[in-house]
Amino acid sequence: MDSLVAGKAAKLASVRYQDIYPSDALLRSVDVVRPRAAELLGLEYFEAEPDAMPTARFEQHHLLLNLQPRAHRLENWRDGQHRDFTYRLHEIVLTPAGMESGWRWHAKSKVIVITIDPPRLRRFAESELGLILSDRQFQDVPQAKDEELCRSGVMLLDALRTRSTGSEVVYEALARVFLVQLLERYGEARGPALEFGAGFTAAQYRRVLDLVAERFGEAITIEEMARAAGMSPAHFSRLFKATLGETPYQFVMDYRVEQARKMLATRDRPLIEIALACGFADQPHFTRIFKRLTGRTPREYRAAL
């Protein structure tokens, strides 16, 4: 095995995946979103020339989503076994935390790398989904075709690329959807598998999120959000809460408050104008919801800017 890839340094001590990347990410979620979303998962996008990563044992789960249209050669050393294979568009590689892994790629990469912290994933699965994971948490997936999961990853990437107003709330929601999909497909649970998101795709969620982004200054009903997802209101509300951890109403309020925070940076803009532009009934309603979600009134928040 190539000495660069073998990477005997540190005797395969557990490290963070990011610590030994051979190149810098073009985009990182930790640089764009607040810790609330970044704590669920880390996303980094790479377009890297042919190179290698030394073999190491990583403390995070890591998932590769291939966006390179042209099939290319990839080598992977995982727990002592060498795989030399052709990596195709929309194929994934999922490596559970603690597994020995090293890489060499022979063509320019276009790949999303998702890293997930096992203790945080366990808390998320138990508290938000009622799912008790095995000690390993994920299956070992050395190569698999998964177009839907790759599409979900691209939606996360797009939410970071745009950096548009409200992208943090949208990223938070899409990150949770992504984790639910990932656990459904490749999670290892103690006991029967749970169907907590069956039939609910990231594309459906994206349509709902786009509706909220376009009309947050107006009244938005559950029926309209459910229609965007192509579901009955009752079924939509149940799945939305199960996956995103909050009701559709709470999500809309979060989004409106995020827009208001950005508008408050314009110091001479009246509070009542911001309240109405963000879909609140009046200034007292705006103040009450804003303080509940941020801990400060709009006036106090503006004064601290």
| SS3 labels along 92-133 | EEEECCCCEEEEEECCCCCEEEEEECHHHHHHHHHHHHCCCE
Which run of H or E residues covers position 173? helix 167-186
Model pLDDT, residue 242: 79
CA dist., res. 222 & res. 123, Å (int): 29
For residue 37, the model assigns a pLDDT of 55
Largest CA distance in the chain: 68
Q: What is the pLDDT of residue 36?
A: 59
Distance of alpha carbon 67 from alpha carbon 153, whole angstroms:
10
- Interatomic CA distance for residues 219 and 7, integer angstroms: 58
Residue 45 is encoded by which pair of tokens? 């996008």
pLDDT score recorded for residue 125: 82
How large a percentage of the chain has pLDDT more than 70? 87
β-pairing verdict for 51-58 and 14-15: parallel
CA distances to 32, 69, 111, 163 from 21, rounded to whole Å, are: 20, 22, 13, 24
pTM score of the predicted model: 0.76
**Low-confidence spans in the chain with pLDDT less than 70:** 1-14, 29-38, 163-167, 190-200
The pLDDT value given to residue 184? 85
Which residues make Cβ contacts (< 8 Å) with residue 107, sequence separation at least 6? 50, 68, 70, 72, 73
pLDDT of residue 18: 72
Q: b/e per residue, 196-231, with b = 16+ CB within 10 A?
A: bbeebbbebbbebbebbbeebeeebebebbbbbbeb
